[in-house]
Amino acid sequence: MLVAHTAAMTVPRFVQIHREDSAALRHELAQGLLVERAMVSPKFLYDALGSRLFEAITELPEYYPTRTERAIFDAHAAEMAAIAGRGRTLIDLGAGSCEKAARLFGALQPLRYVAVDISVEYLRQTLASLQRQHPQIEMVGVGADFSASLTLPPEVGRGERLLFYPGSSIGNFTPDEALRFLRQARAAGGAGSALLIGVDLVKDVETLERAYDDPLRVTAAFNLNLLRRLNALLGCDARVEDFEHVALFDVERSRIEMHLQARRALTLSWPGGQRRFAAGERIHTENSYKYTVEGFERLLREAGYARTRCWTDPQRWFAVFLAS
């Protein structure tokens, strides 16, 4: 009995909130393909394979955000913890491999760690081994898509909250959506809570575009994997060979756009619908907005965060903000 009890203590709990049904996902995908400028939400990039491809992207020398952000955390974690407070409930939004949060456990000493990710299966794998390494931290895995709205389940508990949103995932939102998300984060945190967030900064176009169009073509595979998801979820007949990965920085909008571009004229068909593509026509798959430090500080203030601190790398390529 004692053995069983001890084992139960070190096994993370998992909850799934408002999983979208397959009919709703099919509807969303079909709607996106039928508008004039076809689009597929970037949330579909992260199935089991897509999540692994993204992990591979973070290892690429051209993809600077992950390692630059890691260097900022390594250099300033103690100072961040001193301001944010230790012993909090650390809520990791889009946890993925949970690696970034785990590196901060020493400095932040959270009592509870809540990992939220759209891919709950991936979380099951990563959180179980992390729990074994840190049996003193209570761990909860939450499967949720917070891209539409951020609601946290009661399993998060009542402790003071530190919301963690690293990796510049906020860049997937338009600035308007980002503002709404930051307001929701402030509300979800409650009184005395804080937000620790990583934001990619504007820089020269060449550096930006190489980060999203690497010569090893891992990002191309990550983007093209969406076609396999279209086929699996919608019953579509897309051929990966018929599309090309395109990533371009739009200076005016301050965003990287990823597209899948038809290599020839073709028709995509699925049960109940079809869409013709001319050669060169594109499916828009992702936006990744880049901010200035001042621009993002303004956004935080507009969202109602009164106090903000910011740390950057020497090149000012990436920024980490702590807002409360």
Residues at the interface with ligand AVJ (CB under 6 A): 57, 65, 167-169, 171-172, 212, 219, 286, 288
Structure tokens at 168: 């510049």
Structure tokens at 102: 């785990």
Which amino acid would we find at residue 223?
N
Edge-first strand order for the sheet with 282-289 is 243-250, 255-262, 282-289
Minimal CB distance residue for ligand AVJ: 288
Residue 235's SS3 state is coil
Least Å from the CB of residue 49 to ligand AVJ: 15
Q: Rank residues 68 and 172 by Cβ distance to ligand AVJ and give the closer one.
A: 172
Least Å from the CB of residue 273 to ligand AVJ: 27
Q: Rank residues 122 and 212 by Cβ distance to ligand AVJ and give the closer one.
A: 212
Least Å from the CB of residue 251 to ligand AVJ: 17
- Asked if 89 and 111 count as a contact pair (C-beta separation under 8 A), the reply is yes
Q: Rank residues 12 and 198 by Cβ distance to ligand AVJ and give the closer one.
A: 198
Least Å from the CB of residue 57 to ligand AVJ: 5
Q: Rank residues 110 and 171 by Cβ distance to ligand AVJ and give the closer one.
A: 171
Least Å from the CB of residue 107 to ligand AVJ: 23
- Asked if 227 and 20 count as a contact pair (C-beta separation under 8 A), the reply is no
Dihedral (Cα; 142, 45, 189, 296), 10-degree rounding = 170
Place of tokens 């950057």: 312
Q: Rank residues 104 and 266 by Cβ distance to ligand AVJ and give the closer one.
A: 104
Q: Rank residues 275 and 284 by Cβ distance to ligand AVJ and give the closer one.
A: 284
Length of the chain: 324
Structure tokens at 284: 């828009």
Helices (H), the chain: 2-9, 22-34, 48-57, 64-84, 99-108, 120-133, 175-189, 205-211, 218-234, 293-302
Beta pairing class for 112-117 and 194-200 = unpaired
Alpha-carbon distance of 277 to 262, in angstroms, equals: 7
Alpha-carbon distance of 236 to 23, in angstroms, equals: 14
Least Å from the CB of residue 304 to ligand AVJ: 24
Q: Rank residues 138 and 214 by Cβ distance to ligand AVJ and give the closer one.
A: 214
Least Å from the CB of residue 150 to ligand AVJ: 16
Least Å from the CB of residue 199 to ligand AVJ: 10
| Radius of gyration over every alpha carbon of the chain, rounded to an integer in angstroms | 20
Q: Rank residues 104 and 211 by Cβ distance to ligand AVJ and give the closer one.
A: 211
